[in-house]
Amino acid sequence: MHRIAQDLQPLATPIEGLRLDPRNARRHPEVNMAAIQASLERFGQRKPAVANRRTGIVLAGNGLVTAARALGWDQVAVVWTDDDETTATAYGIADNRTADLSMFDDAVLADLLREVEDEYPPADLGFTLDEVEALVRRVEAETGTGGGGGGQPAPEPVEPSPAPVSRPGEVYQLGPHRVICGDSRDFTTWAALLGDERAALIFTSPPYAARRDYDETSGFQPIKADEYVDWWEPLQACAAHYLAADGSFMVNIKEHAEHGTRHLYTRDLVLAHVRRWGWLFVEEFCWERNGIPGSPQIMRRFKNQWEPVFHFARAADFKFRPESVTHISANAVLASPLNPKLKDLTEAGRSGDLLTGASFGEGQAYPGNRLPPFVSENVGHTAAFPVGLPEFFARAFTDRGDLVVDPFMGSGSTLIAAARTERRCYGLEISPGYVDVIRRRWGDYCRALGGEPGPDAL
C-alpha cells in the first residue's frame, strides 16, 4: 500500500524561474548553507526540490536552491506539485518539522565519520571542528572512554543507583575510613567529616569543566570552563584549612579542546593556586594513559595519552618519601644511596657532578615524574581513576596511618588505595548514588580479604 501524491518525475528546471518561499519558517544559518554547498559540489544534486506549479514557489529545498544559486548553477531538479495555498503552506511546515525532529545516533555517526574520513573529511560533510569535538566528547562520556577522572575505559559504565540508600549530610564509617555525602566546596561538610583532624595528603580528580556525565540528580551542575577557577576557590580554601602544614594537595585534571585548541582553564587554575591563593606549585606529574584509538583526521589532533597531576603544597618541607616508591631497574645508578655498593656518590655530588664515577646496572631506582598507565577495573563510575594512581602518591607523600582525603571521591578509588597502603581515607562525594557505590566497594574489598567491613558498608 502506498500513496504517491504527484508525479515524482523531477524536471530539470531553470533556476531563475524558481521563487524562494518568502514565508519559509526555516532559517539556514551560514554554516548550514556552507554544508549544503559542500554536499552539492561533492555529490551533485541527489534529491529534488519541491515547488508549487501554481506559484513557482519552492516548498521544500529552499536551502538547496539558494546554495545552487550561490554555486552559479543555472538549473536544478524539481518535483512540481499542484497545491492550493493552504496545502502548500502546510506541506512546507510539515517538511521542515520532519527534518527538525530527526537526530543522529552519536556513536553510529562517529563510526560512520571515521569510516569515510580518508576520502571525505567531516568538513566536506558539513561538520565543523567544534561539532566533531562535541560529538567525540559525547560518545566518550556515553561509553566511559573519556577523561572524566582520567580513567581508562570502564568496560560497562554503571550509573549511580537511581534509588540510593545513602543520604546527603550523613557520614558513613567504613573501618578506619569515612565518607560523607555532601558538597566539598562547603566548609561545613569538611568540618563534619574531619573535625580537628588534618590530612597528610589531599588527592583528587574533580569534575572536569563542561562534563555532564556525573549524577545530575545529586544537584551537580556542569561547570563552565570560564567559571572554573571561581568555582574552585572555596574548595581550595577548605583544602588549605584541612591540610597538615607538611601536607600535599594533588589535583588530576585535564582540559578539553574547544574550537580546535586546548582550553586554558587548567592553566588558569594552576596560576590561581600560586598567585591568588598562595600555594606552592611543586610539580606537574605526567600520568600515562592508554589512549582510545582516535581519529586524527576527525579531531585534527593525536589521541590523548597522558593526564597531568598537579602537586601543590603550603610549605617547601612537605612530607616526601621517595624511598617507598623505588623499583628494580636494569639501568639503575649503582651509586645511588639506595645502592650501597657505591658509597662515594655523596662525594661525587659534592664535587658537582652526581654521576662522576657512578656505574650502572640492576638495582633500585627512583621513579621520574612520568607515571605508567595503571591497571583499571570496572567500579561503577564512568570517570574513575585506577587505584594505582592514588596509591603511588599515598606511598610517596604520606606515612602509614596518615590521613588521605579525596574531596571528589566518585567510586572510592582513593579509599581503596589508602586501605591497600595502610593509610586512612576520608572522602566527600555529592552524589548519594556514588556514596552507595563507595560503601559497596568497601564492603566487597573487605569481604574479599576475609574482613568485616562494618555496619555502614553495603
Ligand X SMILES: C[S@@+](CC[C@H](N)C(=O)[O-])C[C@H]1O[C@@H](n2cnc3c(N)ncnc32)[C@H](O)[C@@H]1O
Residue 144 is a binding residue for ligand X (CB under 6 A): no
Q: Which of 434, 443, 453, 457 binds ligand X (CB under 6 A)?
A: 434
Q: Which of 263, 273, 289, 381 binds ligand X (CB under 6 A)?
A: 381
Q: Where are the alpha helices (DSSP H) in 17-74?
A: 30-43, 62-70
CA distance 236 to 234: 6
Residue (of 213, 55, 212) closest to 144 by Cα position? 213
Task: Give the footprint of ligand X on residues 147-176 (CB under 6 A).
Answer: 148-149
Task: Give the footprint of ligand X on residues 194-223 (CB under 6 A).
Answer: 205-207, 214-215, 218, 220
Residue 402 is a binding residue for ligand X (CB under 6 A): no
Q: Where are the alpha helices (DSSP H) in 195-290?
A: 228-242, 265-275
Residue with Cβ nearer ligand X (273 or 441): 441
Q: Which region, judged by CB under 6 A, interacts with ligand X, from 19-27, 101-109, 361-369, 409-417?
A: 409-417
Give counts: helices (H), strands (E), the chain: 13, 17
Least separation in angstroms between CB 204 and ligand X:
7
Eight-state DSSP code of residue 387: T
Residue 385 is a binding residue for ligand X (CB under 6 A): yes
Query: Which value, in Å, is the radius of gyration of the alpha carbons in the chain?
Result: 30
Residue 410 is a binding residue for ligand X (CB under 6 A): yes
CA distance 458 to 456: 7
β partners of residue 288: 306
Task: Give the footprint of ligand X on residues 40-79 (CB under 6 A).
Answer: none
Q: Which of 59, 67, 238, 428 binds ligand X (CB under 6 A)?
A: 428
CA distances from 410 to 63, 248, 255 (A): 47, 20, 19
Per-residue burial over 364-395, b if 16 or more Cβ lie within 10 Å, else e, is: bbeeeeebebbebeebbbbbbbbbbbbbbbbb
Q: Which region, judged by CB under 6 A, interacts with ligand X, from 80-88, 126-134, 270-278, 377-385?
A: 377-385
Least separation in angstroms between CB 453 and ligand X:
18
Q: Which of 37, 81, 145, 184 binds ligand X (CB under 6 A)?
A: 184
CA distance 206 to 214: 11
Residue (of 433, 382, 385) closest to 138 by Cα position? 382
CA distance 435 to 165: 9
Residue 411 is a binding residue for ligand X (CB under 6 A): yes
Residue 413 is a binding residue for ligand X (CB under 6 A): yes
CA distance 113 to 222: 28
Least separation in angstroms between CB 270 and ligand X:
18
Residue (of 174, 107, 93) closest to 137 by Cα position? 107
Q: Which region, judged by CB under 6 A, interacts with ligand X, from 95-103, 169-177, 311-319, 424-432?
A: 424-432
Residue 440 is a binding residue for ligand X (CB under 6 A): no
Q: Which region, judged by CB under 6 A, interacts with ligand X, from 77-85, 314-322, 329-337, 404-412?
A: 404-412
CA distance 228 to 221: 12
Per rule CB under 6 A, count of chain residues that contact ligand X: 25
Q: Which region, judged by CB under 6 A, interacts with ligand X, from 81-89, 172-180, 337-345, 378-386?
A: 378-386
Residue nearest to ligand X (CB): 410
Q: Which of 310, 312, 408, 445 binds ligand X (CB under 6 A)?
A: 408
Q: Which region, judged by CB under 6 A, interacts with ligand X, from 57-65, 178-186, 240-248, 311-319?
A: 178-186
DSSP state string for 168-219: TT-EEEETTEEEEES-TTSHHHHHHHHTT--EEEEEE-PPPTT---S-GGGT
Per-residue burial over 175-189, b if 16 or more Cβ lie within 10 Å, else e, is: bebbbbbbbbbeeeb
140 Cβ partners below 8 Å, 6+ apart? 146, 147, 292
Residue with Cβ nearer ligand X (36 or 437): 437
Query: Looking up cell 591540610, which residue turns up?
Result: 243
Residue 427 is a binding residue for ligand X (CB under 6 A): no
Residue with Cβ nearer ligand X (92 or 410): 410
Query: Looking up cell 554554516, which residue turns up?
Result: 31
Q: Which of 180, 383, 405, 415 binds ligand X (CB under 6 A)?
A: 383
Least separation in angstroms between CB 184 and ligand X:
4
Binding mask 219-258 for ligand X (x = CB under 6 A): -x--------------------------------------
Residue with Cβ nearer ligand X (185 or 256): 185
Q: Which of 137, 177, 178, 185 binds ligand X (CB under 6 A)?
A: 185
Least separation in angstroms between CB 362 and ligand X:
34
Q: Which residues are at the interface with ligand X (CB under 6 A)?
A: 148-149, 183-185, 205-207, 214-215, 218, 220, 381, 383-385, 408, 410-411, 413, 428-431, 434
